[in-house]
Structure 1
Amino acid sequence: MKASKRKYDLVIVGSGLSGASAAAEAADQGLDTLLVEKGRNLGGTGNYVEGVLVVGSDLQKAQGVTITAEDILREEYDWTHGLADLRIWKSYLQATKGNFAWLKSHGAQMTKLRTLGTGENTWHLFDGHGKQAITEGLLPAARWQGVEIITSSQVIRLEVDLAGKISGLVIADYESQTEYFVQTEHVILATGGYLNNPELLRSHTSGNAKRIISVNSGKNTGDGLKLAWSIGAKKFGMGMVMMFGGQVMDQAEPGFKNWSRQINRAVTHEGPLWVNERGDRFTNEDCTDIWAIAGNALIRQEKVYAILNQEEMRALSQQAFKNTDLKYDQLLADLQDDLEQEKSYLTCGDSLEELAQKLDLPHLLDSVKRYNELAKGGKDLDFGKDSRFLHPLEAGSYYAFELGIGAFCTMGGLRTDLQNRVLDQEGNWIRGLYAVGNDGSAGLVGDTYGVNIPGSEAGYCVYSGRVAAQDVAEQLQLT
């Protein structure tokens, strides 16, 4: 699909939550705007977003939640070891309540508040996830006010003038297989980071990036970052992957297909024994209450296996574990399906000796012996796991599920200022260029996503999209 004109006030690249927010705000500001989406469908990974960070909402007041912006600033300073830009955080937090009202006025529906694991009660959930907010709210509102939206089109090059300012861009139209130039002095990059770019993951994360399993739209390949780098933007804050803990290491299916299966939840989030490539236990498996920490623990190993038997599955379904909806019959059904399909991530043995031999885990027998001793003693003296989650593994067939590390997105890649302007190697604005959402969120995090404040990245998508569009409007008024 081709753009109808060859000149716009603003071009937005990407239609996820940040791009859709930028488009709706640009419409509110009266900007002549083009939104370019490389996929055939709109929304991207934003369609799967569950909710956004808000401070001081009526929902929080009704539930007696008293957390303040100052509380969050202190938490983020500690959580990120001072790496986060607290100026960005402060401005963002001051805007969350207004953004909440703005989202609702633009068709997004949010009626529920919850936390995540041990995090704060800041997560305001979309009714119908981000897809409802984007495709039934923000983008229709933008279109109604004149924003042009094209799909199956990709921005393949940014152009700058002799002074280094944005002057336009080149778009490839997949339908006609042609390329054409569009003139604009303002571009907002909202392409969602690089989680689906294996080369960038390998280059900028640990040597075990191959074990990262994306659970997203599959379209976040670093397009915006590469466009910005090509005209001199600083490469900044790479390597931060929003890891949520374990995910069965399924090479044949996309990550989202296993996400809701009960057997996947059981082996990755409910605290069974985890061992590494040598068969050694290496962490408190109950770390999934802060799932970013679980991801960090898992990726430091060359391989990870969850070890359990049917008695452990029964215990998972009966004890007070985090996921109270686990059903023993469904766990057995999922297990049987995996066995029948000969899933590569599942290995079974009639004995621990057989399992250890099949997987070449020389320390497995000693690890299970020690684990059983701790379980019978009722106290994890090695890693401090809650005693409710300790169960001996002593009889029946044994099963080893190989785990990868599930991930939703990356954050970082570009350095931006308080208006989400993209900066060059010397910290100067590449005039006319902005990055929002995952592309422009390096200042929000350190090396780990802070699930202590649930909804912070999704809320930042809304905030940054609006801030960038507002600054474009201000720049146009100055010219």
Structure 2
Amino acid sequence: MATKFQPTPISQLQDQYDVVIVGSGATGLTAAIQAHELGMTVAVLEKEDKLGGNTNRASSGMNAAETNIQLKHGIIDNVADFYHETYQDGGRLNDKDMLGYFVYHTAPAIDWLADHDIHLDDITVTGGMSQKRTHRPASMAPIGGFLIQHLLAVVQQEQIAVFQPVRVTHLQMKNGRISGVKVTINGVDRHINAGAVILATGGFGASQEILKKYRPDLANYKTTNQPGATGDGLKLAEEVGAELMQMNLVQVHPTVQQDQPHVYLIGEAVRGEGAILVNAHGERFVNELNTRKIVSNAITALPEHSAYLIFDQGIRDRVKAIDFYDQVGLVKKAATLTQLADKLGIDPDHLVETVQKWNKSVASHHDAQFGRTTGMDRPIEQPQFGAIHIAPAVHYTMGGIHITPKTQVLDGNGNIIKGLFAAGEVAGGLHGNNRVGGNSIAETVVFGRQAGQQVTLYLRQSR
């Protein structure tokens, strides 16, 4: 498990591998396992002191359609609906070929995880989806840490080499194809030869420099990203001629607690299990499970540019992450809604009236105010009541390296850069102008597996 996982000693770093994978998030670890199981020698290189990257911060779940898990929960879904809803939610700017590959390989990705004893047996819903597609552990634990912990257990069992801290500074090319990487280890440069390289370095949500270049309007926003999400893979790829695409498409997450020095993303599952958003007057102002873009804009448009998530014990029982939010001091609690309103400085009558109106909407399954149709399985009526103060923050970068659905990296002329693959948030195109909650974890597994398979095919053909 993650707490016991020991990276491979640097002394064992070899000069030659079939595949070097840059980044140890879910994309990199999935690609490593897949390539290793197909007979490749693999090394995962991580620059940070902690393994797992931004995946560690994911909380809601992994989207997939037409799974056996859904059927066990009585959900009859359709992959075509998943495609069309994701395409619509992405402003119809998604790469259609990538999106098609993605949606049709989410159910096999759930099965692949289960084959590795990683079980996501519970389901919830996220914004922009019409069905419960968001798979998560039966314990309802946050998906990110759970996934990294269990992927590392597989990595350890299969004795796949993972090295840290190792910073990749350049990609090497020979005879028109990628031939390895240049790295820095404790201030010492070293060259590692490889038949192919997979970039799984994540996005640039923690890079003020890149945000200022492409989205200066977001430069002063706080971020949910871990400090290492600085766009390293983009720079490495650009150096060898790769094309970047849709770099101005940056997602702002609507529900982020920012009152403390540490920023905490409040997962979409809180709303998916029934929480509502209210303004400073204690009134709802948006369909809480609309797309992240729409909900974020609605919060930003409020005079105070922030809002409160309101929930009860019944919702808390369905989202174990709330226990963590409470432990770190993010949750205001009270035995009654009136007492909660007093703690928040909100008009008690307004808040009570808002929740009563919402509970009637849940009972009739008709939200006359804002047309919400999901996350309406339970009313807000069970003490204790809770609230978390939230505001939007930079969360996800939809743009990135231009790749094919086979994860091959393309140059500015649309030609494949031989031996270079990219997957996960470092790659652009899949999400359009708005990523749906639960699709990023699905992307890490679907395209991590694809990268592991395609790099194996490439190396077999090269021999």
**Fold conserved between structures, TM > 0.5:** yes
Query: By how many angstroms is 1:202 displaced?
Result: 2.3
Specify the alignment match of 1:254 in structure 2.
262
Query: By how many angstroms is 1:219 displaced?
Result: 1.8
- 1:242-263 C-alpha deviation (Å, 9 max, x unpaired): 332143544x61212x849xxx
TM-score by length of 2: 0.75
Query: By how many angstroms is 1:16 displaced?
Result: 0.5
Secondary structure at the aligned position of 1:9 is classed as: strand
The verdict on how the C-alpha distance between 1:269 and 1:231 changes in structure 2, with shifts beyond 3 A counting, is farther
Query: By how many angstroms is 1:214 displaced?
Result: 2.1
Specify the alignment match of 2:144 in structure 1.
130
TM-score by length of 1: 0.73
Higher deviation after alignment, 241-250 or 413-422: 241-250
Q: How does 1:109-258 map to 2 (within 5 A)?
A: 109-117=119-127, 119=129, 120-126=131-137, 127=139, 128=141, 129-135=143-149, 137-163=150-176, 165-174=177-186, 177-205=187-215, 207-211=217-221, 213-250=222-259, 253-256=261-264
Query: By how many angstroms is 1:305 displaced?
Result: 3.7
- 1:416-453 C-alpha deviation (Å, 9 max, x unpaired): 0011111110111111111111012x2212211234xx
Bigger helix share: 1
Secondary structure at the aligned position of 2:76 is classed as: coil
Query: By how many angstroms is 1:241 displaced?
Result: 2.8
Matched-pair contact (CA < 8 Å) for 2:285–2:298:
no
The verdict on how the C-alpha distance between 1:386 and 1:428 changes in structure 2, with shifts beyond 3 A counting, is closer
Matched-pair contact (CA < 8 Å) for 2:124–2:133:
yes
Aligned alpha-carbon RMSD (Å): 3.9
Q: How does 1:66-465 map to 2 (within 5 A)?
A: 66-117=76-127, 119=129, 120-126=131-137, 127=139, 128=141, 129-135=143-149, 137-163=150-176, 165-174=177-186, 177-205=187-215, 207-211=217-221, 213-250=222-259, 253-256=261-264, 259=266, 270-273=277-280, 285-290=285-290, 291-298=292-299, 304-306=304-306, 327-328=333-334, 404-440=391-427, 442-451=428-437, 455-465=438-448
Specify the structure having the higher radius of gyration (Cα): 1
Q: Distance in 2 between matches of 1:113 and 1:60?
A: 7
The verdict on how the C-alpha distance between 1:299 and 1:415 changes in structure 2, with shifts beyond 3 A counting, is farther
Q: How does 1:26-37 map to 2 (within 5 A)?
A: 26-37=35-46
The verdict on how the C-alpha distance between 1:171 and 1:329 changes in structure 2, with shifts beyond 3 A counting, is farther
Secondary structure at the aligned position of 2:40 is classed as: coil
Q: Distance in 2 between matches of 1:328 and 1:468?
A: 49
The verdict on how the C-alpha distance between 1:319 and 1:63 changes in structure 2, with shifts beyond 3 A counting, is closer
- 1:309-346 C-alpha deviation (Å, 9 max, x unpaired): xxxx9xx67899999997336999999999xxxxxxxx
Matched-pair contact (CA < 8 Å) for 1:170–1:181:
yes
Specify the alignment match of 2:383 in structure 1.
none
Unpaired runs of at least 5, structure 2: 1-8, 268-274, 323-331, 358-367, 373-387
The verdict on how the C-alpha distance between 1:89 and 1:297 changes in structure 2, with shifts beyond 3 A counting, is same
Letter in 1 for 2:333: K
Q: Distance in 2 between matches of 1:115 and 1:387?
A: 16
The verdict on how the C-alpha distance between 1:233 and 1:306 changes in structure 2, with shifts beyond 3 A counting, is closer
Matched-pair contact (CA < 8 Å) for 1:84–1:444:
yes
The verdict on how the C-alpha distance between 1:322 and 1:448 changes in structure 2, with shifts beyond 3 A counting, is farther
Query: By how many angstroms is 1:403 displaced?
Result: 6.4
Q: Distance in 1 between matches of 2:249 and 2:189?
A: 34
Higher deviation after alignment, 119-128 or 466-475: 119-128
Matched-pair contact (CA < 8 Å) for 1:24–1:139:
no
Query: By how many angstroms is 1:296 displaced?
Result: 3.4
Matched-pair contact (CA < 8 Å) for 1:83–1:446:
yes
Specify the alignment match of 1:472 in structure 2.
455
Query: By how many angstroms is 1:269 displaced?
Result: 5.7
Q: Distance in 1 between matches of 2:299 and 2:214?
A: 17
Unpaired runs of at least 5, structure 1: 261-267, 275-282, 339-347, 353-370, 379-383, 389-400
Q: Distance in 2 between matches of 1:410 and 1:334?
A: 36
Secondary structure at the aligned position of 2:248 is classed as: strand
Secondary structure at the aligned position of 1:289 is classed as: coil
